[in-house]
């Protein structure tokens, strides 16, 4: 499936913001073997006796294995065909994610090791390739199912899923792919924007043996869709920069039209997600570039101002839904790239303008669709459940890698390193745990000062830009009284204790940050045959009752003046947890239009105007495209 929107292509390419043409997907059938006690030390000791479909975890039906019991390790093997890289080329092997610790061999040679179940890693395998091939790629994944001191998110440690925890994910669960690249190349790029200066920030780091040589330069072209331009795109910048010490750091000033109508067309927001296409070329001597990559960015700003959330300099009320990113047959892995797009479209169709990705670092292609279609994302780190030196080191390392991977996506508007004091169970009384949460908050702000950070979402805040509150009160009228006005704030923080927890800890009083109800609802409704096998915070017994309960609850919550936004639990059913607005197969439990009306409420005049403007722009784009086709004939 390929679709192009805002000049930006979103397809099966695993790394949407740094695209090259020459790549090979390695998903599909691999040889496989379980290693229940992690006894095999190398590929020669493995009793290969099964076939698995990568990238689906062996616990899932789609993998062809469907082993949900305890096992410490598993092994993968397949051949890599094709000629080795030519002179001046390298062959990179990429893994989107392997849970938890991966060891990789090429033939019998150890190529790399990586620890961290939610973040990517890459190994240059060129020097391991001798002769014309084929070559044997072997991967060992070790994942202790009882280890609670590693980031595991919603993966259950009990034999069977219970309460709000789900089946485990072991081994390869995101795409594996090969990429043929120049020896000296663009290694990483990172984008940000500044509305006050009306510019785009670029950080580009080179890889390779000659990354620091003199005479290298990087050219950057930025283009935006423009239905009135002859080729449908308008040039925003075309610059060339000298590479210094293997790096380029630049602020690219854009021509500021000054008039709001023109400025607004360039700004990225859910109602009009304008993306800026980027073409980057690395040059040395000669007429041909050394490396060429495609990327994209956007012009948008987020933050907080007093007790409100701000998008592009204006107060913006967040209407989010909790999204855990599981599918019945494939677990944490989407069944297809189209399924990722469909989830983004469904969230918007239900009236939400954002999602809180809960206990999962999502596939980059989901974020690309959220960028392209206009959906805000809170990115949350999967939790560990013990507080030890090792858990601190593991989570911190993986969180840094997650931020590094995703910081350029305009859809991400907040970072959440800790949820509900998971992994810091003695937070109110343990200074070390409080210091840890504060350290994660400040580390995140250091790595990315452009977005709000919610240090510990739910309760017991010590350092945060937004106070996230989890409150599953079933009576909407009680919620109305609890969050009805600013006069309730002292009682809310001192005496109410939603879910029985302090919202802020002693020594860290509320300092006027925005308040958001970041988990609430959780109304379970299931098909009659599942009624007594599922779990939820409260329950409806018919679709009509569920629709009425949801509309009543949302009618109150969306109007609460104390709140800067909300996040309803949840997007879709996950195994035994049946409090989704959709069934696990993404079928709506009542009509989407009714959900949208309940979620959004009456459309404001400003929203109507934006919708009309967007429709008009789409009509102009269509007419211009038809005109270009007719002219080309």
DSSP state string for 241-279: EE-BTTEEEEEEE-----SHHHHHHHBEETTEE--EEEE
| Per-residue pLDDT, 623 | 57
pLDDT digits (tens, 9 = 90+) for 130-139: 878 899 999 9
Neighbouring residues of 444: CB distance < 8 A, sequence distance ≥ 6? 399, 403, 415, 417, 453
Q: What is the mean pLDDT of the chain?
A: 92
Point out the least confidently predicted range of 80-84, 113-117, 474-478: 80-84
- The confidence band for 3, taking pLDDT boundaries of 50, 70 and 90, is very low
pLDDT digits (tens, 9 = 90+) for 172-191: 999 999 999 999 999 999 99
| Per-residue pLDDT, 532 | 59
Q: How far apart (Å, rounded) are the C-alpha atoms in residues 538 and 165? A: 17
| Per-residue pLDDT, 83 | 77
Q: Candidates 1.10.443.10, 1.10.3720.10, 2.60.120.260, 2.40.70.10; correct CATH number of 27-174?
A: 2.60.120.260
pLDDT digits (tens, 9 = 90+) for 456-505: 999 999 999 999 999 999 999 999 988 987 777 877 777 667 777 889 99
Rounded to whole angstroms, what are the CA distances from 140 to 76, 151, 517? 6, 19, 42
pLDDT digits (tens, 9 = 90+) for 405-464: 999 999 999 999 999 999 999 999 999 999 999 999 999 999 999 999 999 999 999 999
Q: Which residue has the higher pLDDT, 263 or 342?
A: 342
| Per-residue pLDDT, 4 | 45
| Per-residue pLDDT, 306 | 94
| Per-residue pLDDT, 1 | 36
**What are the domain boundaries of the chain?**
27-174, 185-194+196-297, 318-602, 603-633
Q: Candidates 3.40.50.300, 3.40.1180.10, 3.20.20.80, 3.40.50.1980; correct CATH number of 318-602?
A: 3.20.20.80
At residue 416, the 3 state secondary structure works out as: strand
pLDDT exceeds cutoff 90 at 287: no
Q: How far apart (Å, rounded) are the C-alpha atoms in residues 34 and 32? A: 7
Span 230-255, mean pLDDT?
Answer: 93
- The confidence band for 527, taking pLDDT boundaries of 50, 70 and 90, is confident
Is residue 123 a contact partner of residue 106, using CB atoms and an 8 Å limit? no
| Per-residue pLDDT, 277 | 96
pLDDT digits (tens, 9 = 90+) for 363-403: 999 999 999 999 999 999 999 999 999 999 999 999 999 99
**Structure tokens belonging to residue 526:** 């299931």
| Per-residue pLDDT, 436 | 97
pLDDT exceeds cutoff 70 at 622: no
- The confidence band for 628, taking pLDDT boundaries of 50, 70 and 90, is very low
| Per-residue pLDDT, 2 | 40
CATH of domain 185-194+196-297: 2.60.40.10
Span 532-548, mean pLDDT?
Answer: 90
Q: How far apart (Å, rounded) are the C-alpha atoms in residues 580 and 537? A: 11
Is residue 10 a contact partner of residue 368, using CB atoms and an 8 Å limit? yes
| pTM for this entry | 0.94
Is residue 320 a contact partner of residue 568, using CB atoms and an 8 Å limit? yes
């Amino acid at each position: 499936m390929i679709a192009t929107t805002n000049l930006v292509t979103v397809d099966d390419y695993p790394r949407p913001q740094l695209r090259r043409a020459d790549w090979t997907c390695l998903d599909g059938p691999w040889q496989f073997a379980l290693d229940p006690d992690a006894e095999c030390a190398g590929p020669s000791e493995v009793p290969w006796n099964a076939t698995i479909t990568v990238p689906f975890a062996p616990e899932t039906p789609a993998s062809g294995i469907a082993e949900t019991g305890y096992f410490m390790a598993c092994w993968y093997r397949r051949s890599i065909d094709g000629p080795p890289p030519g002179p001046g080329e390298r062959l990179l092997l990429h893994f989107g994610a392997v849970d938890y610790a991966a060891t990789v061999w090429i033939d019998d040679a150890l190529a790399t090791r990586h620890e961290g179940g939610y973040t990517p890693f890459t190994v240059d395998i060129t020097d391991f390739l001798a002769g014309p091939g084929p070559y044997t790629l072997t991967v060992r994944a070790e994942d202790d199912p009882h280890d609670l001191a590693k980031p595991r998110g919603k993966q259950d440690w009990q034999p069977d899923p219970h309460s709000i925890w789900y089946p485990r994910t072991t081994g390869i669960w995101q795409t594996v792919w090969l990429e043929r690249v120049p020896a000296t190349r663009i290694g990483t790029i990172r984008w940000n924007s500044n509305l006050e200066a009306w510019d785009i920030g670029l950080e580009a780091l080179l890889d390779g043996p000659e990354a620091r040589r003199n005479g290298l330069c990087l050219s950057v072209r930025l283009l935006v869709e423009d239905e009135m331009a002859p080729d449908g795109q308008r040039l925003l910048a075309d610059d060339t920069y000298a590479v210094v010490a293997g790096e380029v750091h630049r602020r690219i000033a854009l021509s500021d039209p000054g008039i709001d109508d023109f400025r607004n067309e360039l700004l990225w927001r859910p109602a009009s997600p304008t993306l800026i296409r980027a073409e980057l070329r690395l040059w040395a001597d000669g007429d041909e570039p050394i490396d060429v990559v495609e990327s994209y960015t956007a012009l948008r700003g987020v933050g907080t101002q007093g007790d409100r959330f701000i998008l592009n300099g204006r107060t913006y009320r967040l209407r989010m839904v909790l999204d855990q990113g599981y599918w019945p047959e494939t677990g944490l892995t989407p069944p297809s790239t189209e399924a990722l797009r469909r989830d983004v479209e469904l969230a918007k169709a239900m009236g939400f303008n954002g999602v809180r990705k809960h206990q999962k670092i999502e596939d980059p292609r989901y974020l690309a669709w959220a960028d392209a279609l206009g959906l805000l994302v809170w990115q949350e780190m999967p939790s560990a459940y013990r507080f030890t030196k090792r858990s601190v080191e593991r989570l911190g390392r993986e969180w840094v890698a997650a931020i590094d991977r995703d910081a350029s996506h305009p859809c991400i508007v907040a970072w959440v390193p800790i949820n509900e004091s998971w992994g810091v169970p003695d937070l109110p009384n343990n200074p070390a745990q409080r210091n840890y949460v504060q350290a994660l908050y400040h580390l995140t702000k250091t790595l990315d000062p452009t977005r709000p950070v919610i240090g510990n979402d739910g309760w017991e805040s010590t350092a945060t830009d937004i106070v996230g509150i989890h409150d599953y009160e079933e009576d909407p009228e009680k919620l109305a009284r609890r969050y009805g006005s600013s006069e309730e704030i002292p009682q809310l923080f001192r005496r109410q204790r939603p879910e029985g927890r302090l919202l802020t800890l002693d020594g860290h009083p509320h300092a006027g940050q925005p308040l958001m109800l970041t988990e609430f609802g959780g109304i379970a409704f299931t098909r009659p045959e599942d009624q007594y096998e599922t779990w939820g915070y409260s329950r409806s017994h018919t679709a009509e009752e569920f629709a009425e309960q949801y509309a009543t609850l949302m009618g109150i919550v969306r109007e609460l003046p104390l709140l800067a936004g909300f996040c309803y639990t949840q997007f879709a059913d996950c195994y035994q947890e049946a409090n989704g607005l959709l069934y696990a197969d993404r079928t709506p439990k009542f009509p989407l239009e009714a959900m949208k009306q309940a979620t959004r409420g009456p459309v404001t005049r400003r929203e109507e105007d934006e919708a009309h403007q967007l429709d008009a722009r789409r009509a102009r784009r269509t007419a211009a495209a038809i005109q270009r086709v007719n002219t080309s004939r």
